[in-house]
Chain A
Amino acid sequence: MNFALLSRLRLASFLLAGLTCLIYAILALLFDRPDPVPFWIPGVVGALTGLFGLITGVFLPRVSSVVWDELSRNEWSRSVQFGYWVAVALYPIAGAFLYADLFAWPTLFAAMGTLTGAAPLLCFAWLDTRGA
């Protein structure tokens, strides 16, 4: 497997996991229930994404080191920072929704969790497409 293919597969896996989490959160809020689709789907997709990264790192160390070069590590660091601030911002937003009695707390809990997962993954996917 060459660098370009592994890089594209990484982008696809991050997009898939990020969009799965984002869509789950949107559906949870739309239907006001914590399990709009089977609850394990975001977790399993996220775990498979992590497993893919682990396997390629172990079995394709040379290609993987190029895919995760200085620029990629920098972009991932920025994505995690973005995810942190999204997670922090979600607390007052969820509090406001609870106060306004717009959603039940289990719904908000599910949406906050999946949005927190989606933020760094989608941010990285966006950063990864720059200058490609």
Chain B
Amino acid sequence: MMKNLSNNLKELRKNAAMTQADLAEAIGVSRKTINTIENRIFVPSTILALKLAIVLHCSVHEIFELESD
């Protein structure tokens, strides 16, 4: 059963008072990568998801979640 992946990255980033550029620089990717993740165009790897969680001081589950049916 396929479920869509949603994310709360934008909210968590804003809560951390970071811009897309700040977050991108903190984890060593482009701002576009952050933008495409927030807009659900790109699904990042586990490594990138963990880096995001570390920088945002939360768990990966708080950033990403499977949408319920």
Assembly CA distance A130 to B41 (angstroms): 9
Min Cβ gap A86→B in Å is 23
Chain B 20-34, CB-CB to A under 8 Å as 1, else 0, gives 000010001110110
Task: Enumerate chain A residues within 8 angstroms of B28, measured Cβ to Cβ.
Answer: 65-66, 69
Min Cβ gap B46→A in Å is 11
Task: Enumerate chain A residues within 8 angstroms of B6, measured Cβ to Cβ.
Answer: none
A92 on the B face (CB < 8 A):
no
Interface extent on B, as a size class? 10 to 19
Within residues 34 to 92 of chain A, which ones have a CB less than 8 A from any CB in chain B? 65-67, 69-72, 74
Interface extent on A, as a size class? 10 to 19
Min Cβ gap A90→B in Å is 29
Min Cβ gap A23→B in Å is 28
B68 on the A face (CB < 8 A):
no
Asked whether, in the complex, the Cβ of B45 is within 8 Å of the Cβ of A131, the reply is: no
Asked whether, in the complex, the Cβ of A7 is within 8 Å of the Cβ of B30, the reply is: yes
Most A CB contacts (10 A, CB to CB) among B24, B29, B32, B36 go to B32
Assembly CA distance A46 to B29 (angstroms): 26
Within residues 1 to 33 of chain B, which ones have a CB less than 8 A from any CB in chain A? 24, 28-30, 32-33
Q: Which 8 A-B pairs have the closest CB atoms?
A: A131-B36, A69-B29, A71-B33, A131-B35, A131-B41, A69-B30, A71-B42, A132-B32
12 A-B pairs within 8 Å (CB atoms) are namely A3-B30, A65-B28, A69-B30, A69-B33, A70-B29, A70-B33, A70-B48, A71-B29, A71-B36, A72-B30, A131-B41, A131-B42
Binding site for B on A (CB under 8 A): 3, 7, 65-67, 69-72, 74, 130-132
